[in-house]
Amino acid sequence: MTNGLNIVSELAQANNIEVMNTGGTLRKKSLSFYGSKAEASLNNLRFDKLILGVDGIDIQAGFTTHFEPEANLNRLMCNISKKIIAVTDSSKFDRSNFHIITSFDSIDTLITDSNIPEKYKEYLISKNIELIIVDV
């Protein structure tokens, strides 16, 4: 299940993968769906894992975005998922946007690049969050 049109397009090329989309209103800038129809499509579903992209990560604010409808949908996805895997590049650290998605307490794993600030490495360890560093 995804709210990303680009993800649907990519996964449509793979064999043996069933792809579901939330539907809703398309945000052209990010090629993602949002809104009440997208939220309603998740009402009776539960997921083992959520892969969550974020616009900002701040120790005090947690995981944030600048677009309220996206924050609402992301928050709902977090609430119906057993495991949350946040994925972001290091430029998003120490960036706090207006709308909070979730706190560090909700995150199980964070995947980022090797330029993650040291204070975040230490913080993630203190919160028992798995950190995966990927160099590209």
pLDDT tens digits along 15-49: 999 999 999 999 999 999 999 999 999 999 999 99
Residue 110's CB is within 10 A of a number of other CB atoms, namely 25
Q: How many domains does the chain have?
A: 2
Torsion of CA 62, 68, 70, 74, to 10 degrees: 40
Same domain, 32 and 53: no
pLDDT value at position 26?
Answer: 97
Same domain, 113 and 130: yes
Same domain, 21 and 65: no
Q: Range of 18's domain?
A: 1-45
pLDDT value at position 29?
Answer: 93
- Tell me if 86 sits within 8 A of 58, measured CB to CB: no
Instruction: Provide the pLDDT confidence category of residue 135 given band limits of 50, 70 and 90.
Output: confident
What are the pLDDT digits (tens) for 60-102?
999 999 999 999 999 999 999 999 999 999 999 999 999 999 9
Q: How far apart are CA 71 and CA 123, in angstroms?
A: 23
Examine the pLDDT at 129 and tell me if it is beyond 90: yes
Long-range contacts of 125-129 (CB under 8 A, 24+ apart): 129/104
